[in-house]
Structure 1
Amino acid sequence: MSGQEKPGRKPTSFDVARRAGVSRAAVSRTFTPNASVSPETREKVVKAAKELGYRVNYLARGLINRRSDFVGVVAAGMDNPFRAMQIEQITKKLVRRNFRPILLPADHGESADHVMDQLLHYNVSGVLVTSDAPPTALCAEFAAAGVPIVLINKADAIPAVDRVVCDTDTAGRLAATTLLEAGARHLAVVSASAISYTARRRQQAFLACCHALEADVRVIPVAVNDYANGLAAAERLDGVDGVFCVNDYMACGLIDGLRRRGVAVPHSVRVIGHDDVPQAAWGSYELTTMRQPCDLQADQAIDLLTSRMAEPEMAERVELTPVTLVRRATA
Structure 2
Amino acid sequence: MKITITIIALLSFCALNAQEADSSLTDVEKAFRDSIAALNLESDILAKSQESYNKGIESYNAGQFDAAIGHFSDALSLNPVMLQSYYNRGASYYAKEQYDAAINDFSKVLEMDESHYNALFQRGMCRYSSGSMEEAIGDFMEANMANPGQEGPVYQLGTIYFLLQKYDESITYFSNCIKLNPKKPDYFNDRGSAYRMKKDYVNAAKDYEQALAINDNLAYVKNNLGSVKKLMGDQNAALVSYDYATLSDGDYYIAFNNKGVVLCEQGKYEEGMKSFDRAIAGNKSYAISYNNRGAAKFKMEYYKEAVKDFNQAILLDPNYVNAYVNRGIAREMARDQKGACSDWKKADELGSNAGRKFYINNCND
Do these two structures clear the TM 0.5 threshold for a shared fold by scoring above it?
A: no
Structure 1 length-normalised TM: 0.30
Structure 2 length-normalised TM: 0.28
Structure number with higher relative contact order (C-alpha < 8 Å, ≥ 6 residues apart) = 1
Structure richer in strand, relative to its length: 1
Larger Rg: 2
